[in-house]
C-alpha cells in the first residue's frame, strides 16, 4: 500500500511554455501533499504544501505565481510551472501524507526546459 504516482515521468518543453505535473495517491486519500525540487546530488527542497480544498502554502523564496499548485481532490495534486525557463529545469517530486507526518513519495518528474 501507499503508492504515489506522478505523470509525466519526464518532459521537455520550450522556454516560455507551461508544464503541468500530476501527483496521485493511488491507494489512499491524502489531505496533504507536498511538492519538492531536487538538484543533482543534492537534498530535497520543499517548495510548497498542498491541502485539499485550500490554497497551497509556499516556502520562502518560491514564486507562487510561477509554480501553481492545485489540490482538487483527496487523491490528486497538480503543479504547473508557468512560463518555464531553463533555470526551472530540475527533478520535481511530490509526496502524499498518510497518517501523521508519514510521507510517501512519487517517482519524480524530470523537467528540461530548452
Size of the site for another protein (CB under 8 A): 22
**Grid cell locating 23:** 501527483
Using CB under 8 A as the binding rule, whether residue 107 contacts another protein is answered as: yes
Tell me if 78 sits within 8 A of 72, measured CB to CB: yes
Binding mask 36-55 for another protein (x = CB under 8 A): -----xxxx-x--x------
Question: Would you say 50 or 75 has its CB closer to another protein?
Answer: 50
Question: Of the listed pieces 13-21, 63-71, 74-82, 95-103, which binds another protein according to CB under 8 A?
Answer: 95-103
Site for another protein in 52-91 (CB under 8 A): none
Q: Using CA atoms, how far apart are residues 18 and 14, in angstroms rounded to an integer?
A: 9
Q: Using CA atoms, how far apart are residues 45 and 25, in angstroms rounded to an integer?
A: 21
Amino acid at each position: 500500500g501507499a503508492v504515489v504516482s506522478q505523470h509525466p515521468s519526464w518532459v521537455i518543453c520550450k522556454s516560455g511554455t507551461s508544464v503541468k505535473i500530476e501527483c496521485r495517491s493511488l491507494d489512499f486519500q491524502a489531505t496533504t501533499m507536498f511538492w519538492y525540487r531536487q538538484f543533482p546530488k543534492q537534498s530535497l527542497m520543499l517548495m510548497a504544501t498542498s491541502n485539499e480544498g485550500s490554497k497551497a502554502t509556499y516556502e520562502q523564496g518560491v514564486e507562487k505565481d510561477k509554480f501553481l499548485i492545485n489540490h482538487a481532490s483527496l487523491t490528486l495534486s497538480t503543479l504547473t510551472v508557468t512560463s518555464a525557463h531553463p533555470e526551472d529545469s530540475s527533478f520535481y517530486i511530490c509526496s502524499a501524507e498518510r497518517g501523521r507526518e508519514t510521507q510517501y513519495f512519487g517517482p519524480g518528474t524530470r523537467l528540461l526546459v530548452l
